[in-house]
Amino acid sequence: MSTRWGILATGGIAHAFARDLALLPDAELVAVGSRTQATAEAFGEEFAIPHRHGSYQALVEDPDVDAVYVSTPHPGHHDAALMAIAAGKAVLVEKPFAMDAAEAREMVDAARAAGTLLVEAMWTRFLPHIARIREILAAGTLGEIVYLTAEHGQWFANDPQFRLFAPSLGGGALLDLGIYPVSFAHFVLGTPAKITAVSRAAFTGVDATTSMILQYGSGAQAILTTSLAAASANPAAIYGTEARLEIDGWFYTPTTFRVVSRDGTVLERYDVPHEGHGLRHEAAEVGRCLQAGLTESPLLPLEETLAIMGTLDEVRRQIGLDYSALAP
């Protein structure tokens, strides 16, 4: 059975999601909701979407929608998700899932009480190369994991109106870009026992460049950096006692990787062509979970989403990034 999607908010990533959804069999884009009717009409026109709603409330109440994709700026995720859950919809919420762990907990509690499906749209987690890396980690090919590195740096011109610089829109590198390395570390090593973070602020007070060292009960370490002031090649690597796994940039998008033994032998080359952006894999997972009657995805359980939000909270505490104290 096809999953009938409604897109909530019509910004940059909503466009990418709509385009990629068109490549997915068993998915139909039936509705869009925007803060204004005119924007809903324009987006609906662009993607031939039959139902166009001039409010988020009207979208979540659309009886033809099975699953809602929440793609507002971060501070809107909590309220939009709660609205969709209250209407009984399955919800896929863009990253970061919420502004902090407390908001995230409310969303998870509401979905559990309603018995509805809730998934964090950390699209990387559902990509084909990550599925293969999951198998390699489970097989123990790398030996004991000693450390990993991951970075996400992009350069943006200083613009106080731009979402990434605006405190009122949850700006800063950490929540928008840094969440990819953080989520990757959680994927490989679980919840850290100790976090150490340093940061330099942008001109609006949000974080511009943030580096983190995560330490684990196993003794492993994760070394992570994010920046909105420098363009990185965005690689990641996992180093084990037997072999290392080198993911080419950009590690969190569809890409290639190698497994190299400690004597330098290439044990595996992953180089599978990928069509489209890659956002559809998270939508496919929502469809699969709905069909199977699941209320969360086993590939990214809600407790892990909460743990990731907890790590981000601790980093923000250490670097002194308090949105309520910054001018909007």
Ligand X SMILES: NC(=O)c1ccc[n+]([C@@H]2O[C@H](COP(=O)([O-])OP(=O)(O)OC[C@H]3O[C@@H](n4cnc5c(N)ncnc54)[C@H](OP(=O)(O)O)[C@@H]3O)[C@@H](O)[C@H]2O)c1
Distance in Å, CB of 101 to ligand X, minimum: 16
Query: Nearer Cβ to ligand X, position 3 or 183?
Result: 183
Give the footprint of ligand X on residues 128-147 (CB under 6 A).
none
Stretch that binds ligand X, among 11-19, 46-54, 184-192, 263-271 (CB under 6 A): 11-19
If one asks whether residue 13 binds ligand X (CB under 6 A), the answer comes out as yes
Q: DSSP of 5-50, one letter per residue?
A: EEEE--SHHHHHHHHHHTT-TTEEEEEEE-SSHHHHHHHHHHHT-S
Among 3, 5, 6, 9, binds ligand X (CB under 6 A): 9
Displacement of CA 299 from its chain's centroid (Å)? 13
Q: End-to-end CA distance of the chain, in Å?
A: 45
User: In the complex, which residue's CB is closest to ligand X?
Assistant: 11
Q: How many residues bind ligand X (CB under 6 A)?
A: 20
Tell me the β-bridge partners of 214. 195, 222
In the bound state with ligand X, the residue whose beta carbon lies nearer, of 141 and 253, is: 253
Binding of residue 10 to ligand X (CB under 6 A): yes
Among 35, 105, 134, 288, binds ligand X (CB under 6 A): 35
Q: Which residues contact 107 (CB under 8 A, 6 or more apart)?
A: 77, 78, 81, 82, 85, 93, 97, 98, 118
Position 12 contacts ligand X (CB under 6 A) = yes
Map residues 157-186 to x or -, x wherever contact with ligand X holds by CB under 6 A.
------x-----x------x----------
Measuring CA to CA, which residue among 223, 195, 162, 216 is closest to residue 315? 195
Least distance between ligand X and beta carbon 302 (Å): 18
> Residue 39, interface with ligand X (CB under 6 A)?
yes
CA distance 305 to 136: 22
Helix axes 302-319, 101-114, angle to 10 degrees: 160
* CB nearer ligand X, residue 74 or residue 244: 74
- Comparison of 34 and 116: residue with beta carbon closer to ligand X: 34
Q: What is the largest CA-CA distance in the chain?
A: 61
Residues 65-104 that bind ligand X (CB under 6 A): 71-74, 76, 94-95
Task: Output the six-digit token pair for 296.
Answer: 């969360």
Q: Which residues bind ligand X (CB under 6 A)?
A: 9-14, 34-35, 39, 71-74, 76, 94-95, 123, 163, 169, 176
